[in-house]
Structure 1
Amino acid sequence: MLKRNIITKTMAVAAAAFVMVACQKIDRPELGEYIKDANPPGGPLKFYVAFDGTTTDPLRNAVDSMRANFASSNPLTFVPGISGRAIQGAATKDKAVKYASPNDFADASSFTVSYWLKHSPQTDGEPEFHFSLPSKDYWHSSAMFLLVEKAGPNPDNSTPTQMACTFAVQDRWVEFRGPNRLPNALDGNWHHLAFTYDQTTSKLTAYVDGVAVPYTGTGNIVGGAATPMGPAKFWNSSRDNLSSFVIGGWNKHVGGMGDAFKGPQDPWIHSYSGAMDQFRLYNKALTASEVTALFNSKR
């Protein structure tokens, strides 16, 4: 018995020594050039997808992998983008990219939506949705969306040189129509769009290619001049009511609110038919210089 105890103790000491040596060897590895995270935990960038699908950049790959590996929820194809690859929207009424959530962007009080687009006209000229944040808290079942109006001669419609659109936040709508339409965004070339909302002013500002679009009248105050919105709130009764995040379409295009929103579509509800790249959501209103920097760097 004594001999066995001695052998056991000897083996335990040897094992401990091996562990210590092994730990010492891996405690000081040769450090390479690690990617520097420009958006540390708690930073303002809450959602980012480059649409590259196979990117080796670990800071992008998590969201890109969602796009690449869940084809049933994300049926769009890849095309050359403004940086790497982009997604190509579908001319049908039932395809868009669906993500499980917009991450912590749902808690933003000020915000920025930023992305690149290359427009392709709808075959029947109907309106189309660029993105949507589905929510059960609102009558239109979306806490945020962008709807681009159909083409036509009416000042409330879009042309290749003027994009008429509506940006919805909760039940507040900001309409970029008539003299407030966005320039050049639908001419078939790559353009950068950004929408910033500042809770201190209750104003939504649109940027095209890094330049703020002038807005006439009071409609740029979300909710109207008499009732400024203040801090944005994308959910009311429960954060769980935000079911997903849709890029390139609206809730019905992906069944974003469950079975009741699947199936036949309203004839005017179209998914986005063009290409889209570098989609970002921030929980702050970027400054004009920050938006310009995104445009200049093709980010």
Structure 2
Amino acid sequence: MKKITFNLAKTGLAIALVLSMSGCQQNMDHPAMGAYPEDENPAGGPLKFFVTFDRESENPLMRAVDETRAKFPTENDFTQIDGVSGKAAQGSADKAIRYPKPNDWASTAESFTVAFWEKHNGQTKNGANPGAEHIFSIPSSNGHWSEATMFLLFDQYGGSSSAAAIKFVMVDKNMGDSWMTWENENSIEGVLDNQWHHFAFVYDANTSEFTMYIDGVNRGTKTWGTHGPINLDDSKITGFRIGNGPQKQNDSGDNWLFSNWKGGLDQFRLYNIPLSQAEVQNLFAEKK
């Protein structure tokens, strides 16, 4: 019996050795650790909110889900159209996409980048008349007259059917606000020509500079004095809207702080870092 036990033990050891060698050989077929592809935006990365509008679904909430946290909107009345990359969102009068919050973007951002693609056929309208249309807004209970901590709108410009005045508004937790505007004779020609255009708005806390890029090109840098970190009051944020202003519509239907975007939107991104010009140009070139 002892002899049999001894032989079984040797046999088990041999089998274990063969399996071990086989496992080593199999592991050799895998790439070295450094060769694995890196996540473009790892957990906790700088891309805090991202909507592609590209998901195929009968459920409109699924079509506007945030890709970084799988956060669904509470409302999506926009339809789907062909975008710059896959599908995109199409707005129309009094429609909106609404979320509870832009994840932890406002609480983590000292600097930031807002990037997206837009397509609009002719002048923007508030109701039936020429006027403001909002790309996005962040409503707030901070007591500011706008009822927002941030919003971006394109406004009508009488000089051309394809030009737009562009106005980006920021409100910090101390109620300091700043309007970064390109309007009147500085309105941007050609952005309402029914073609897709890439926009990126970059705020750098180190310099307090705010830069607008269109189709990868720097179209002007403005400075918020010596403001430094954006310092938003995340505790007062009451929502996040794509394609809609921060307020409610009024009885006459012409509240410019409600008026929504009536064109196309694609690849909407919020970063809590200031992208470099090369990084912005890459988003444009790669249709991201």
Across the two proteins, how many residue pairs are aligned to each other? 240
Q: Tell me: CA distance 1:144–1:65, structure 2 relative to 1, closer, same or farther (3 Å).
A: closer
Aligned to 1:246: 241
Q: Tell me: CA distance 1:126–1:64, structure 2 relative to 1, closer, same or farther (3 Å).
A: farther
Aligned to 1:118: 119
Q: Tell me: CA distance 1:62–1:208, structure 2 relative to 1, closer, same or farther (3 Å).
A: closer
Equivalents in 1 of 2:246, 2:120: separation in Å?
A: 21
Q: CA deviation at 1:141?
A: 1.1
Listed as ranges, the matches of 1:134-149 within 5 Å are 134-137=139-142, 138-149=144-155
Using structure 2 for the length normalisation, give the TM-score: 0.74
1:42 aligns with 2:33: no
Equivalents in 2 of 1:265, 1:195: separation in Å?
A: 32
Q: Give the letter aligned to residue 126 of structure 1.
A: G
Aligned to 1:194: 200
1:98 aligns with 2:94: no
Q: CA deviation at 1:95?
A: 1.5
2:226 to 221, 225, 228: 228
Aligned to 1:77: 79
Q: Tell me: CA distance 1:54–1:65, structure 2 relative to 1, closer, same or farther (3 Å).
A: farther
Question: Considering only aligned residues, what root-mean-square deviation do their CA atoms show, in Å?
Answer: 3.0
Equivalents in 2 of 1:63, 1:85: separation in Å?
A: 20
SS of residue in 1 equivalent to 2:279:
helix
Q: CA deviation at 1:228?
A: 2.8
Listed as ranges, the matches of 1:264-283 within 5 Å are 264=251, 267-269=254-256, 270-283=259-272
Q: CA deviation at 1:112?
A: 0.3
C-alpha deviations, 1:211-258, integer Å up to 9, x for none? 10035xxxx212xxxx432110221xxx33111110001123xxxxxx
SS of residue in 1 equivalent to 2:72:
helix
Q: Tell me: CA distance 1:60–1:251, structure 2 relative to 1, closer, same or farther (3 Å).
A: closer
Equivalents in 1 of 2:55, 2:76: separation in Å?
A: 11
Q: Tell me: CA distance 1:188–1:142, structure 2 relative to 1, closer, same or farther (3 Å).
A: same
Using structure 1 for the length normalisation, give the TM-score: 0.72
Q: Could you tell me whether the CA contact under 8 Å between 2:151 and 2:246 is conserved in 1?
A: no
Q: Give the letter aligned to residue 77 of structure 2.
A: P
SS of residue in 2 equivalent to 1:66:
coil
SS of residue in 2 equivalent to 1:293:
helix
Aligned to 2:278: 289
Q: CA deviation at 1:53?
A: 2.8
Q: Could you tell me whether the CA contact under 8 Å between 2:146 and 2:246 is conserved in 1?
A: no
Larger displacement relative to structure 2 (173-182 or 104-113) = 173-182
- Structure 2: segments with no counterpart, 5+ residues: 1-25, 31-35, 172-176
C-alpha deviations, 1:160-191, integer Å up to 9, x for none? 1x321110011211111245333422111000
Q: Could you tell me whether the CA contact under 8 Å between 1:144 and 1:167 is conserved in 2?
A: yes
Q: Tell me: CA distance 1:48–1:35, structure 2 relative to 1, closer, same or farther (3 Å).
A: farther
Larger displacement relative to structure 2 (127-136 or 144-153) = 144-153
Q: CA deviation at 1:96?
A: 1.0
Q: Tell me: CA distance 1:281–1:96, structure 2 relative to 1, closer, same or farther (3 Å).
A: same
Q: Tell me: CA distance 1:268–1:231, structure 2 relative to 1, closer, same or farther (3 Å).
A: same
Q: Tell me: CA distance 1:265–1:103, structure 2 relative to 1, closer, same or farther (3 Å).
A: farther
Equivalents in 1 of 2:186, 2:274: separation in Å?
A: 20
Indicate the structure with greater strand content.
2
Equivalents in 2 of 1:234, 1:77: separation in Å?
A: 31
